[in-house]
Amino acid sequence: MLAAADQPFPSSVELVLRRYAPLIDARGARSVAFEAAVTAMAPATKAAITADLKCFLAWCKSRRPVATAVPVEPETLVHYLRWLAKGSDTRAPARPATLARRIASIARVHRMLGFGEKEPLATQAGMVRDTLKGIRRDKRQRQRQAAPLRLGEAMAEGQGAPEGVTVKALLASCGTDIIGLRDAALISLAYDAGLRVSELVGTEVADLRQVGDSSGRLEIGHSKTDQLGEGALAWLSGDTMARLSAWLLASGLSEGPVFRRINVLTSPPDPAGQRVVRHYIGAKSLTRQGVVAILRRRVLEAIDLGHVELEPGMEGDTVRGLSAHSFRVGLTQDLFAAGEDGSGIALALRWSSPTTALRYARELAVGNNAAARVLGRLRDSEAPTVARSTANQ
């Protein structure tokens, strides 16, 4: 690893490695390779690897006898996976997707430290792969996908409008006060451009541009699939541009982050019992948690105002199923419902391949595949006959 003189500000990955140095054989480390690997990581990747590494090293230290973490033995990884999958009174059992990510992080750190070039890593051992397979079989669950937030209108002739929580319902819950203007602009922009939450909170005033037909363009500096910062352009509707303009005008923002925290200060009541409410716009952009909090608050308000109809008792599950990624999933499903193909959707939403788009639209695709189109028409026509025949028996 790099000496202090070469790297005055060590990365979070290196700080964790230094903290647990007795558990690590770093003789194979190459400082230049380590530096290059850390520099190439996206911030979110670096944060995930740091968290995964800290969890693994802390577990190794707690073992009796203390387990060597790097290079790790396959048997150690098997015990670690079982420990994660079992859970405890203070820790929920890890999901298969989380276990796979933990192992991938351990493998990546090994390679960064120079291991795995001459011999296979322990993470590739058969017993480790078999343990993962066994846990997946026991869990019998797919990775949970964020619930979609669709626009709320029929995308093609003959289709009905989506039910439940929709973008239109959320927009209807936003008032004309400054908080409502901000939330409406955020919701409309997140859907139109299919933004990841990092792209949404990173949007700045200078990234927005209006064109002649009243629509707009959003310049996205970099994203998960564009770590080199080549940039991309996203189309924005005239409605979204109007909502953005209303928010920026009301907030007085002309530069910097578009979406910021709004602090509310209420004065004590005067002799007439009146209170003065003042809003102060923060200097920093909203966080990921802030976006999720806004979304969930708007969902509950849309339900209370009657813009969303749910079965009694389903409010909690509905709110928990939504995340900042729901806008991206919803736009994907709406584009599929409108007849667009995976390649076009991947290009519009800045994916490196159509695979993810197809996964997000899997449920819609099943309802519109060849079997559904052909057999649905034939079998639906038989349904009344079958029903009458059954009733006569």
Tell me which residue range forms the domain holding 307: 167-311
Q: Is the pLDDT of residue 7 over 50?
A: no
62 and 176 both lie in a single domain: no
Let me know whether 118 and 187 are in one domain: no
CA distance 96 to 163: 31
In angstroms, rounded to a whole number, what is the distance separating the alpha carbons of residues 330 and 353? 18
Residue 100 backbone class (left: φ over 0; alpha: ψ -120 to 50; beta: rest): alpha
**What phi-psi label fits residue 271: left (phi over 0), alpha (psi between -120 and 50 degrees) or beta?**
alpha
1 vs 26: CA distance, rounded Å: 8
The answer to whether residues 120 and 243 belong to one domain is no
76 and 175 in a single domain? The answer is no
- For the ranges 61-70, 257-266, 303-312, 368-377, the lowest mean pLDDT is seen at 368-377
Interstrand relation of 260-266 and 232-236 (parallel, antiparallel or unpaired): unpaired
Domain end residue (candidates: 139, 157, 175): 139
Residues 172 and 247 in one domain: yes
Q: How far apart are CA 264 and CA 208, in angstroms?
A: 27
CB 228 within 8 A of CB 207: no
Chain position carrying tokens 């001459």: 118
Please tell me whether residues 203 and 302 are part of one structural domain. Answer: yes
CATH of the domain at 85: 1.10.150.130
CATH value at residue 185: 1.10.443.10
- pLDDT range class, residue 387, cuts 50, 70, 90: very low
Q: Is residue 362 included in any domain, yes or no?
A: no
Q: Is residue 190 part of a domain?
A: yes
Kindly state whether residues 195 and 121 are assigned to the same domain. no
pLDDT above 60: residue 28? no
The reply to whether 121 and 193 lie within a common domain is no
299 close to 147: Cβ distance less than 8 angstroms:
no
Phi and psi at residue 369, in whole multiples of 5°? -80, 180
Total number of domains constituting the chain: 2
Strands (DSSP E) found in the chain: 208-210, 216-220, 232-236, 260-266, 277-285
Q: What does pTM read for this prediction? A: 0.64
Q: What percent of the chain has pLDDT above 70?
A: 84
Per-residue pLDDT tens over the stretch 196-243: 999 999 999 999 999 988 899 999 976 555 555 567 899 999 999 999
Same domain, 172 and 135: no
The reply to whether 26 and 125 lie within a common domain is yes
pLDDT of 383 higher than 70: no
Last residue of a domain, which of 311, 343, 377?
311
What is the tens place of the pLDDT at every residue in 320-364?
A: 889 999 999 999 999 988 888 888 888 888 877 777 777 777 766
Q: Are residues 276 and 191 in the same domain?
A: yes
The residue among 308, 310, 360 whose CA lies nearest residue 334 is 360
| Co-location of 186 and 298 in the same domain | yes
Residue 44 lies in a domain: yes
